[in-house]
Amino acid sequence: VRIVLRRPQDTSGLLSSIALGARRAGLPTLAEAIDADDPEATLDRLTDRLHAGDRRVLVAVDEVHRASPEAAAWLAALAAELPDGTRLVIAGRRIGPALAALAQRQDATTAGVAELRFDHDDVSAILTAVGRGTAGPAEVDAILAATDGWPAAVVLSAAGEIATDGSVGEDRHERGAVLRRLVDGLLGATDPSTRELVGVIADLPLLSAPVVAALSGEGALDRLLDAGMPIRFRADGWGELPDPVRELFHRQTLPREVARRVAGLYARGGELVEAAALLHRAGDHDGVVELLAGERREALQRAGLAFFDAVLTDTSDESLARHPAAMVQLVQAAERQPRLRGAWSERATQVLDQGTPWRRAIDAERALDVARAGDLDAATRMADEVLAAAGSDEITTRGRAHLARALCLLLRDTAGSTSDVAEELELAIGLFSLAGERGWEAEAHQALGYGVHFTTGAFELAAERLERALALRPAPDAARAGTLTYVAEVLTHIGRFDDAAVALREASAIGQRLGDSRSIGYAAWSAAELACRRRDLAGAVAALEEAEAHPEGWFDRLAGIDFLANAAQIRTILGDEEGARRDLARAEARASGTARAEAPLAARVRFEATFGDPAAALRELDVLDESPLAYRSDRWLRLLLRAVSAARMGDRARAAAFVERSRRAAAADLGDPDKPAHREP
């Protein structure tokens, strides 16, 4: 059954063509199964009859680029239902995304422009056929480079456009002579508007029917294809003019409004970098900034933020001030890239006027960064100022400011301020939910689950909040990887080691796929905790080394102090005295003079109780008991360390009393009197 789409066809037209082709092929039962006005029922009836038949059937659809997107989707659905013995062959100048996936099926074949390009073997055969003898690899490579495998150009090259010494000329203009002759011949038979259009598209990296229509009206892409232009189409549906052909034309600057329309089409098609680059090349800096202002953070992140840094360097403060949302979007998008975020935040403070909603949005982000860097007083002050001035419609800004305040409270005094932290986080969660900011809502749930519930021993509540955070982050991105590490820590703590390992494998795989250093580092850090609970020294050391090998975005911040202190505890528990001593010294040196000066205290206590001076351990425990780090969920552990210290000092009666008090504390705080035995054997 052969169908040729000689004009644009919707689904109804496609079905009518298939019915006509079936009758011509002597298959009236198939033709009768087709109702052009009911594609869905037709699909069921047609596949039923194909399954019931005893003949092998080949359905070939040519010029498929003329099928509408809906018609192409119907063909893809047909391919998915074909019985054994039936094959579908699709050919056309462009194979859209709906049909491109058919190339992976054994019962369907697609043939587009790319499949018709000549390869190395084809060129060798052509040269032999025209009497050139056996061609050397260099000659074949030169022809391919000059023609991009375009069959007509290859034939012309082989037939007489080769230099007399048998090699393609080295001069760029001489190499282009073959293509120039061919393109001139093709365009000579077209109308003036098509000839002009070819010069315009030569400066566009990506082509599609809507893009070319923006330049020269509906049907313009078909005019180019009908003229024989060698536009090749990628699997994602975008077309490209080969570089050797593009180089034949002088660059033409698109009118500003046309360039902006094309850039908008690029952006909506997921090609934000090409969109911004098109406007940037045209010197339309206002257009670039306006484009970025309308994009979501996720789109900016997918495109690659480093590119936009180069664009911003060439953009005036005046352009940025006219589109302040662009600076806000970029700063928020760069949360995992501290260098870019810091530079852009600084630029924003210079460009955006004080007292405006846009500046308050930037200040809320700066409050978070200042808190993470350790200046909790300054961060709290900034967040308070934002909340005092923000209007009721500044929903996300207020949510971010509440998140900053919660972070300051967590870092300053977790044990003594859990109710205040929870209140700030609940406010943030409500605001983010109202604004539809699922990622930030997940971040606040995560902080509440791990920063509050987990540290206070409410493990079921912690797991519930982290599960909600994970549900809000279904995409396999860095944010999900981060949440998975917290989930793994909770699972490790409650003894579900295998489940924790599964979560960490997913987190690490995401980090490796994205090349995200922080995700890899955090996953390794949590893996070290898991190895510690399994009493696996080699595994813990390997995981700690893996974490330190990926420091970007976290190790030079307060998190790095916590990591070193935690590493010292892990090594102490597993008997690595020298490693513990080294990491503890590093943690204390890093913590000195910061808002986390007491962060290594618990590690110091455990080290002294295990390897050092037990009397010093008891003195440090007195300090720790009065510290903001004295979590109620760890009361049993502090009592157990007192027992260890007393035993090492020879006071076994006192040690036994502390062990009993530790059991009672574990029962009262965690409902598990045996925790000291199975956690700290």
pLDDT band at 528 (very low <50, low <70, confident <90, very high): very high
pLDDT number for residue 132: 60
List CB contacts of 446: < 8 A, sequence separation 6 or more.
465, 466, 469, 482, 483, 486
Q: Is the pLDDT assigned to residue 166 strictly greater than 60? A: no
Give the up-direction half-sphere exposure of residue 372: CA atoms within 13 A in the CB hemisphere: 18
Considering only CA atoms, which of 555, 564, 494 is closest in space to residue 528?
A: 564
Nearest CA-CA partner of 61 in 17, 27, 29, 105: 17
Lowest mean pLDDT among 66-70, 321-325, 385-389: 66-70
Least confident of 78-87, 258-267, 600-609: 78-87
CA gap 574, 506 in Å, rounded = 26
Which two structure tokens, joined as six digits, stand for 536?
């696996």
Q: Which amino acid is at 451?
A: G
The pLDDT, as a whole number, for residue 215 is 92
Q: In this structure, what are the phi and psi dihedrals at residue 124, rounded to the nearest 5 degrees?
A: -60, -45
Mean of per-residue pLDDT scores for the chain = 87
Q: Which of 309-313, 512-516, 647-651 has the highest mean pLDDT?
A: 647-651
Highest mean pLDDT among 221-225, 228-232, 476-480, 611-615: 611-615
172 pLDDT more than 50: no
- Supply the pLDDT for residue 168: 36
Choose the weakest-confidence range: 111-120, 403-412, 543-552.
111-120
In single-letter form, the type of residue at position 62 comes to D
Check whether 539 has a pLDDT greater than 60: yes
- Mean pLDDT in residue range 82-111: 73
Residue 521 confidence (pLDDT)? 97
Q: Tell me what pLDDT residue 170 has.
A: 42
Q: Are 514 and 336 in contact (CB under 8 A)?
A: no
Residue 259 has pLDDT above 70, yes or no: yes
pLDDT digits (tens, 9 = 90+) for 3-15: 888 888 899 999 9
pLDDT at 169: 38
Q: How far apart are CA 613 and CA 25, in angstroms?
A: 94
Banded pLDDT at 143 (limits 50, 70, 90): confident
Task: Name the residue among 50, 48, 61, 42 with its Cα closest to residue 2.
Answer: 61
State residue 163's pLDDT score.
Answer: 38
Tell whether the model's pLDDT for residue 307 goes beyond 70. yes
pLDDT score recorded for residue 379? 96
Rounded to 5°, the CA angle 118-121-123 comes to: 55
Q: Which residue would you say has higher pLDDT here, 49 or 569? A: 569
pTM: 0.68
Q: Round to whole Å and give the CA distance between 271 and 259.
A: 14
Beta strands 239-240; 86-91: pairing state = unpaired
Tokens 């003594």 sit on residue:
416
Q: Give one DSSP letter per residue of 463-487, joined into a string.
A: HHHHHHHHHT--SSSHHHHHHHHHH
Would you say residue 150 has pLDDT above 70?
no
What mean pLDDT do residues 294-311 have? Answer: 89
Residues 357/379, Cβ–Cβ less than 8 Å: no
Are the C-beta atoms of residues 588 and 604 closer than 8 Å to each other?
A: yes
User: pLDDT: is 378 or 239 the higher one?
Assistant: 378
pLDDT of 569 above 90: yes
- Asked if residue 196 lies in contact with residue 265, where contact means CB atoms within 8 angstroms, the answer is no
Name beta bridge partners: 87.
58
Is 160 strand, coil or helix?
helix
Q: Which of 112-121, 263-272, 627-636 has the lowest mean pLDDT?
A: 112-121
Asked if 331 contacts 348 with a C-beta cutoff of 8 angstroms, the reply is yes
Tell me the average pLDDT across 42-57.
87
| In the chain, domain spans | 2-111, 116-252, 256-352, 631-681
CB crowding 491-511: b at 16 or more within 10 Å, else e: bbbeeeeeebbebbebbbbbb
